[in-house]
Structure 1
Amino acid sequence: MAPQLRTLEAQEWDTWYRTLERAFGGPPTPPEARELWQGLTEPERSLGVWDDEECVGTAGAFSLRLSVPGGTLVDTAGVTMVSVAATHRRRGLMTTMMRRQLDDVRERGEPLAALVASEPGIYGRFGYGMATQQLSATIDTTRVRLEVPGGTGADPVRLRYADPQSALTACEAVYADQVTARPGMPARRPGWERLGVLAPQGGGRDGSPLQCVVADRDGETVGYARFQNTPQWDVSGARGMIVLRDLEARDAAAYARLWRFLFEIDLTSTLVAQNRPVDDAWQHLVSDVRRCERQLRDGLFVRLVDVGGALEARAYRTPVDVVLEVEDPFCPWNEGRWHLTGDSRGGSCTRTRARPDVALPAAALACAYLGGVPLTTLARAGRAAELSPGALTHASLAFTTDPAPWLPHAF
């Protein structure tokens, strides 16, 4: 019999998850993380491909609410845990799962799907486009200084160590305040806050347990940083490394104080930040940005499941009035011409027969959706075409956003 695709039964989770672990390789998921992912899994949104009694394919989705330009939280399918057993490659199982999943997302009325790609080359053919990037940095703190504007005494911010678990509620409140201000951030439902306090990868064998420092002002927590301290020594002395897990702050003063603290921890010489926004402000507080060894990589991939609904859900930086001709063979209900009008208060997007101004495939529109990739850049790459003079620049400016979109953690 051909492999069968069906919705996951809750009691099958262990078998299903082992298929995923085997596909990705490496050691088993630590028990605490495994327990968390099992609790977060939505069986009714999870698919398995079964060959007799063997699970040979997996795909899931989380019910997320994603921040988009303008601050609206949009219902989004957070696509996750996608794998195909090595014994069953090249049989169309991935396409079958993606087809079923996007049909289900449409039926649920979610305008967006989003994912973090293990292999970015896979998902473009299903209409996903790279909508955010993430910045990483390896900073030599023996040669790079970070200055707090006005000095440390200019604001009554107090830093203190806190138990990561005990401080979780206060830290989560700071995170929640940031979500609508930056596109791409998910509003975390109950349970998701535990991601931030899982043991560091590798169990912390080579470094400290997860540490947390919070910034307080007038008795209120206004920022936090969570990190691991890995001691290292050589003939010249201490060469420890700080690995930043996450940092959020409600204002510039708390933000700068937390970053300065990380730069000045005793017995350390390196600060590693692995996932930060591309416009993160610390880059303008350091004395020598060249010695910060910055790198970019892809972040969140977005898919417009309902073009009209997705474009109406966000706001626009400048007034926009444009007809988009969208090519979308994988989700053909999106194909055709869409009349988009909007401004900073929101938008309207309806079917039209009017002459198109800009033509582009669904994956390119997805790249531009959160405002991090200008349509003009996509046009220079041959992924968008201007059909009416001036329309591309007009639409491109309207789609861009400040601050840059960013996904703070995988899912």
Structure 2
Amino acid sequence: MTTELRVLESAEWDEWYGMLELAFGGVPEAPEERALWQELTEYDRSIGVWDGERCVGSAGAFSFRLSVPGGAVVPAAGVTMVGVAATHRRRGILTSMMRRQLDDVRAGGEPLAVLTASEPAIYGRFGYGVATYTARATIDTNRVRLTVPDGTDGVTLRQADLTKSAAACEAVYARRVAGRPGMLARRPGWEKVPLLDPESQRGGASPRLCVLAERDGEVVGYARYAIKSEWSHAGAEGVVLVKDLEALDPAAEGALWRFLCSIDLTSTVRIHSRPVDDAWQHLVSDVRRCEPTLRDALHLRLVEVGAALEARTYQAPVDVVLEVSDAFCPWNEGRWRLTGDAKGAICTRTDEAADLSLSVRELGAAYLGGNSLVSLAAAGRVRELRGGALVEASVAFGSPVAPWLPHGF
């Protein structure tokens, strides 16, 4: 069979997205969910592979700005909606879409591409490395107590309408973006994503709720959550499902966690996605009773090595020559000299002897500071060619706070 790869037309969206739904199990999404993703689709950045009139492959990209170490927000292609029909696997369709997409990203001047993976094993061969992780936990509030920061009692909490409070919550979120690598500066329309709450995905829980943390009339934090009522012969055993939480200071954050852990008729707080260094771990009396687990989140690829490494800052002075391998995007191959510190960086091609050797995948894994070059070297993924260069670069690439992706796309 012959197939054609082309840019998506608006009239083709239903067929294109329907193929994606089928590739992900065939369960149709709720109408409101489907409508939001259609609204957010960037047609000029979406491609499909067609076999006659049938769509057999899809891939898209969103025009994001991603926070990086140092506080800058950097243009990044948010790779999304990737799928191949089960009838057309192992024919090079995915590779052809990844090839076209990365060529387009480079032509558009974006130094980074990012994605979340349904299957993490897929994207390493295209140069993506796991750059952030997310923490999940289940807090047994019958046995775990919280010790909150000084000033928490000066924060007032107010139950708020989910939609009417959205603007105030977005203002808090926007102030948080620069302080943690991996967060997305939300463009217009994306404020609707955290509000998406189709009944079909609640699993018997309540509609999404919102509580605002305020001080002197100013909103300084918020939590969105749902409650799943459960009962046993012993009484109420409800579950609080934390959807998202942001706060501008420790007292506001402490007030929100204390509220979530003390809601009547509940005995468990379930955390779905939080930073791996999140404050709640230091507020609880027994982290073991919270059963924390880790999962990969954001996968990142340097599309233009020089521009990407110059876009962030470094927490210690660094002067290192990197020998980079990148078979899928050969324009990145070769030696790059990176010099930088907390004020900025320069990264240019060089003929000097290499200090470290690694692939673009490892650069992606280390780029936001979530993985150390030392740990990657221990796995044989980075080679030190000059004594001392590995520790020097590893410290410089680090981040004082763990990178974190607040929501999927």
Structure 1 residues 203-242: aligned runs within 5 Å = 203-204=201-202, 206-242=204-240
Q: Structure 1: where are the runs of 5+ without partners?
A: none
Please state whether the residue corresponding to 1:121 is helix, strand or coil: coil
The equivalences for 1:68-79 within 5 A come to: 68-79=68-79
| CA deviation after TM superposition for structure 1 residue 27, in Å | 2.5
Aligned residue number for residue 54 of structure 2: 54
Shift of 1:25: 1.1
Aligned match of 1:248:
246
Task: Call closer, same or farther: CA 1:205–1:303 in 2, change over 3 Å.
Answer: closer
Query: 1:324 aligned to 2:330?
Result: no
**Which residue is 2:312 aligned to?**
314
Q: 1:120-159 alignment to 2 at 5 Å?
A: 120-150=120-150, 152-153=152-153, 156-159=154-157
Name 2:14's counterpart in structure 1. Answer: 14
For residues 10 and 248 of structure 1, the distance between their equivalents in structure 2, rounded to whole angstroms, comes to 36
For residues 138-217 of structure 1, the aligned pairs below 5 Å read 138-150=138-150, 152-153=152-153, 156-199=154-197, 202-204=200-202, 206-217=204-215
1:404 alignment partner, SS class: coil
Q: Residue 240 of structure 2 aligns to which amino acid in structure 1?
A: I
- 1:45 — aligned with what? 45
Distance in 2 (alpha carbons) for counterparts of 1:289 and 1:151: 23
Q: 1:149 Cα shift?
A: 2.3
Match of 1:355 in 2: 353
User: What is the TM-score normalised by the length of structure 2?
Assistant: 0.99
Aligned to 2:338: 340
Taking structure 1 as reference, are residues 333 and 205 closer, same or farther at Cα in structure 2, changes over 3 Å only?
A: closer
Map Cα deviations across residues 115-158 of structure 1 (whole Å, 9 max, x no partner): 000011010000000000000001111100112123743xx211
2:262 aligns with: 264
Q: Percent identity at matched positions?
A: 64
3-state DSSP of counterpart to 1:348: strand
Structure 1: how far apart are the matches of 2:53 and 2:351? Answer: 51
8 A contact 2:30–2:198 mirrored in 1: no
Q: Residues 200 and 228 of structure 1 are in contact (CA less than 8 Å); yes or no, is this contact kept in structure 2?
A: no
User: CA RMSD, aligned part only?
Assistant: 0.9
Taking the aligned partners of 2:68 and 2:184, their CA distance within structure 1 comes to 10
Which residue type is aligned with residue 8 of structure 1? L
Write the mapping of 1:256-405 to structure 2, written as runs, cut at 5 A: 256-405=254-403
Q: Which structure 2 residue ranges, 5 or more long, are not aligned?
A: none
SS of residue in 1 equivalent to 2:178:
helix
Distance in 2 (CA, whole Å) between partners of 1:151 and 1:179 is: 24
Question: Contact 1:133–1:300 (CA<8 Å) still a contact in 2?
Answer: yes
The runs of at least 4 consecutive aligned structure 1 residues that moved more than 6 Å come to none
Q: Tell me the amino acid that sits aligned with residue 333 of structure 2.
A: E
Does the 8 Å contact 1:200/1:210 carry over to 2?
A: no
For the 8 Å contact 2:151–2:251, the answer to whether it is kept is: no
CA distances 1:248-300 after superposition (whole Å, capped 9, x unpaired): 00111000000000000000011000100000011001011100000000010
Q: Any conservation in 1 of the 2:152–2:254 contact (CA below 8 Å)? A: no
| Paired AA for residue 209 in structure 1 | P
Q: Displacement, 1:200?
A: 5.2
- Alignment partner of 1:120: what SS? coil
Count of paired positions:
409
TM-fit CA distance, 1:31:
1.2
When residues 340 and 152 of structure 1 are mapped into structure 2, their CA distance, relative to the original with a 3 A threshold, is: closer
Distance 2:258 2:252 in 1: 10
Which string of whole-angstrom CA distances, capped at 9 and with x for unpartnered residues, describes residues 5-60 of structure 1? Answer: 00000111111000000000152111111111001000100010000000000000
Q: CA deviation at 1:203?
A: 4.4
Counterpart-to-counterpart distance in 2, 1:236 and 1:211: 27
